[in-house]
Amino acid sequence: MSTALALAGTLAAYRLALALADRLGRPALLNPVLLAVVLVGAVLLLTGTEYDDYFAAAQPLHVLLGPATVALAVPLHRQRARVRAVALPLVAGLAVGVVGAVGTAILVPRLLGAPEVLVLSLAPKSATTPVAIALAADAGGSPALTAALVILTGIGVAVAGPALLDLLGVRDPAARGFAMGVAGHGIATARALQDGEQPGAFAGLGIGLGALGTSVALPLLLLVGGG
């Protein structure tokens, strides 16, 4: 597949996803990442195109994730006074969220009789992709499967996170953004940025601290769980 076609097709799917969500009153389920992924995925399956061909051609878009992640420093810098003011609650929330998410990601599939390679691929999935892949490889999971599960987790948090936080009465924009970033990395951060600079900045902070927390918690929890 040519790069031009992959880029044009991906951009068209994204625009269509935005237009569709807009037309239908922006329901949470019509998340632009989810919708665009379904659209592009459907076209690949229908035309019998290999995913690897598409992904190689779409590299110019994919590599921008690098500078975009670095760019998260800017909203964080603009919110630096608030970050300093709430540092301790953030660390406490990080510990609870990471241990809870990684712990249940190991425990629940094991209890349901999932093969161990699936368990170990699920365990690091809240972390951002490169970290999750490295952690899965170390633990004995499948890096490629982990990449898919990371994406599904991010989409899940982007779709369900805001409603869940509403339900629990979590109103502070820093708490909301941070929870989204820690649990759902960059994809949920893209969603948090839609709500404003403060939730976006704290979600960006959550990506980094969530990755760090998962790197520390995962080996310890596997040790405790006898993995």
Partner 1 sequence: MRLHGPVRPDDRSLAGLLDLLLCWAAGEVLARVLHLPLPGPVVGLVLLLAVLGVQSSRGGGGEVRSGPVADLLLRHLALLFVPAGVGVITYLSLLREQAVPVAFGLVLPLVVGVAGTGLVVDRLLRRRA
Does 21 bind partner 1 (CB under 8 A)? Our answer is: no
- The candidate with the shortest Cα–Cα distance to 155, out of 119, 107, 201, 190, is 190
Q: Which of 6, 136, 217, 221 binds partner 1 (CB under 8 A)?
A: 6
3-state per-residue secondary structure call for 152-163 = HHHHHHHHHHHH
3-state per-residue secondary structure call for 37-92 = HHHHHHHHHHHCCCHHHHHHHCHHHHCCHHHHHHHCHHHHHHCHHHHHHCHHHHHH
Q: Structure tokens of 48?
A: 């019998």
Nearer to partner 1, 20 or 134 (CB): 134
Contact string 59-78 vs partner 1 (x = CB under 8 A): x-xx-xxxxxxxxxxxxxx-
Nearer to partner 1, 6 or 222 (CB): 6
Does 36 bind partner 1 (CB under 8 A)? Our answer is: yes
Q: Which of 120, 139, 189, 198 binds partner 1 (CB under 8 A)?
A: 189
What residues have CB less than 8 Å from 214, skipping those under 6 apart?
Answer: 98, 102, 124, 126, 127, 131, 132, 135
Within 129-168, the residues that bind partner 1 by CB under 8 A are 129-131, 134, 144-145, 147-149, 151-157, 160-161, 164-165, 168
Within 101-130, the residues that bind partner 1 by CB under 8 A are 101-105, 108-109, 112-115, 118-119, 122, 125-126, 128-130
Nearer to partner 1, 102 or 139 (CB): 102
Nearer to partner 1, 139 or 206 (CB): 206
The torsion defined by the Cα of 106, 108, 114 and 118, in degrees rounded to 10, comes to: -40
Q: Which of 120, 193, 217, 221 binds partner 1 (CB under 8 A)?
A: 193
Other Cβ atoms within 10 Å of 104 Cβ, number: 12
Q: Which of 47, 169, 223, 226 binds partner 1 (CB under 8 A)?
A: 169
